[in-house]
């Protein structure tokens, strides 16, 4: 049986609507194998679809179809730590789990790029699915067929604190409230801030993040669907957050906090309780730079090996070719330094 670990994700990151996303150290675990019927159970007892409506099964079936195969049935055991309909990429985690598991069952016929593209076609946008698969922070553009993406590993002294309410917000509802058109001024406003976010995060200019997450395309409209949203923002900034934004479609609010602010979560929870928001949870995460992992187990269920999808080489050889070129260049430079320069005539 194949076991898969898939990270939660936080998308949009303020101004990067449908383009920016990052993976978090918070995981779902899926065990799956092909069988002659649909056999789906929740290891944690959650209420999940146990028939052909299950999104993991749908995604696995789609990958089989792309590869010219038919998926007769699937044995699936889900452990769903990522809360559903909270803006933390629960649906994307299911999609990636189905695709990665099905791809492994078929002998890895599709590359990482193929999986990124297929996941975006299923989800409709890549801002959650791409970082769920690849890890790190991902900038992605989906042209309707192919995802053009850049992944950056992030090593910063930052933590991402999820402030999770006790109610759901469906993505469909959160998208329905958005305007059909935006002004040129608002588009420029967001473009400049989305660029500022990535640059500031990667260069350590964290003082820019509060400005960088400001947005005019989705957050002002979605705030009306999230009771006390502005109050939570204000509390986060009072306790020293660099930035606060609506994670994905919401209703979770994400605060970006310096690692040295060790009591932020406790202060946040205390203030929320005092404000009458006792049902809200506060959870601390970091950026997951590796993305989805395959956990290979033995016959007795013991873990034998953990493979990051980011580190597994693609079958088309593009990644291995790049690494070969780098190694050859290093070898040539080493030989040159040692004096093996050849003869001059």
- In the chain, domain spans: 2-154+288-318, 158-284
Q: What is the 3-state secondary structure (H, E, C) of the chain?
A: CEEEEEEEEEECCCCCCCCEEEEEEEEEEEEEEECCCEEEEECCCCCCCCCCCCHHHHHHHHHHHHCCCCCCCEEEEEECCCCCCCCCCHHHHHHHHHHHHHHHHCCCCCCHHHHHHHHHHHHCCCCCHHHHHHCCEEEEEECCCCEEEEEECCCCCEEEEEEECCCCCCHHHHHHCCCCCCCHHHHHHHHHHHHHHHHHHHHCCHHHHHHHCCCCCCHHHHHHHCCCHHHHHHHHHHCCCCEEEECCCCCCEEEEEECCCCCHHHHHHHHHHHCCCCCCEEEEECECCCCCEEEEECCCCCEEEEEECCCCCCCCCHHHHHHHHHHHHHHHHHHHHHCCCCCCC
Q: What is the pLDDT of residue 1?
A: 86
Give the separation between CA 271 and CA 280, rounded to whole angstroms: 11
> Is it the case that residue 281 has pLDDT exceeding 90?
yes
Q: How many CB atoms lie within 10 A of CB 45?
A: 7
Q: What is the pLDDT of residues 4-62, one digit of tens each?
A: 999 999 999 999 999 999 999 999 999 999 999 999 999 988 889 999 999 999 999 99
Low-confidence winner among 96-105, 176-185, 244-253, 329-338 (lowest mean pLDDT): 329-338
* Token pair for 103: 């791809």
> Is it the case that residue 122 has pLDDT exceeding 80?
yes
Of 131 and 319, which is predicted with more confidence? 131
Average pLDDT along the chain: 89
Q: Which of 129, 134, 150 is nearest to 248 (CA)?
A: 129
According to DSSP, the residues that pair with 184 across neighbouring strands are none
Q: What percentage of the chain reaches a pLDDT higher than 90?
A: 81
Q: What is the pLDDT of residue 118?
A: 98
Q: How many CB atoms lie within 10 A of CB 41?
A: 13
Q: What is the pLDDT of residue 126?
A: 95
State the distance between the two ends of the chain, measured CA to CA, in whole angstroms.
63
Q: Is the pTM of this model over 0.85?
A: yes
- Cα radius of gyration rounded to whole Å, the chain: 22
> Is it the case that residue 344 has pLDDT exceeding 50?
no
Of 312 and 244, which is predicted with more confidence? 244
Q: Which of 126, 128, 127, 132 is nearest to 145 (CA)?
A: 126
CATH of domain 158-284: 3.30.70.890
Length of the chain as a residue count? 345
Q: What is the pLDDT of residue 45?
A: 87
Q: What is the pLDDT of residues 58-74, one digit of tens each?
A: 999 999 999 999 998 99
Low-confidence winner among 29-38, 101-110, 146-155, 316-325 (lowest mean pLDDT): 316-325
Q: What percentage of the chain reaches a pLDDT higher than 70?
A: 86
Confidence bin at 325 (pLDDT 50/70/90)? very low
**Mean pLDDT throughout 162-176?**
94
Q: What is the second-level CATH architecture of the domain 2-154+288-318?
A: 2-Layer Sandwich (3.30)
**Mean pLDDT throughout 264-290?**
97
Confidence bin at 312 (pLDDT 50/70/90)? low
Pairing assessment for the beta strands 147-152 and 2-11 based on DSSP bridges: unpaired
């Amino acid at each position: 049986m194949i076991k898969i670990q898939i990270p939660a994700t936080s998308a949009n990151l303020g101004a990067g609507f449908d383009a920016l996303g990052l993976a978090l150290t918070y995981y779902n675990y899926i065990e799956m194998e092909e069988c002659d019927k649909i056999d789906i159970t929740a290891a944690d007892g959650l209420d999940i679809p146990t028939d052909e409506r299950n999104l993991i099964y749908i995604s696995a079936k789609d990958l089989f179809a792309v590869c010219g195969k038919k998926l007769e049935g699937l044995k699936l055991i889900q452990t769903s730590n990522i809360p559903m309909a909270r803006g933390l990429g629960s649906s994307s985690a299911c999609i990636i789990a189905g695709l990665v598991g099905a791809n492994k069952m078929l002998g890895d016929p599709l590359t990482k790029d193929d999986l990124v593209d297929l996941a975006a076609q299923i989800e409709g946008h890549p801002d959650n699915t791409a970082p769920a698969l690849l890890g790190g922070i991902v900038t992605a553009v989906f042209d309707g067929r192919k995802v053009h993406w850049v992944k950056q590993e992030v090593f910063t002294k930052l933590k991402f604190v999820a402030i999770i309410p006790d109610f759901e917000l469906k993505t469909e509802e959160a998208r329905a409230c958005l305007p059909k058109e935006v002004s040129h001024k608002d588009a420029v406003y967001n473009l400049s801030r989305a660029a500022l976010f990535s640059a500031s995060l990667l260069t350590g200019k964290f003082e820019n993040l509060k400005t960088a997450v400001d947005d005019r395309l989705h957050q002002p409209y979605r705030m009306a669907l999230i009771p006390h949203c502005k109050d939570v923002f204000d509390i986060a900034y009072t306790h020293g957050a660099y930035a606060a934004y609506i994670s994905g479609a919401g209703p979770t609010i994400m605060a970006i906090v310096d690692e040295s602010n060790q009591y932020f979560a406790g202060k946040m929870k205390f203030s929320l309780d005092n404000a009458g928001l006792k049902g809200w949870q506060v959870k601390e995460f970091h950026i997951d730079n590796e993305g989805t992992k395959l956990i290979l187990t033995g016959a007795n269920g013991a873990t034998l090996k953990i493979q990051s999808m980011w580190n597994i080489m693609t079958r088309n050889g593009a990644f291995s070719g790049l690494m070969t070129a780098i190694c050859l260049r290093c070898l040539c430079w080493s030989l040159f330094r040692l004096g093996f320069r050849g003869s001059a005539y």
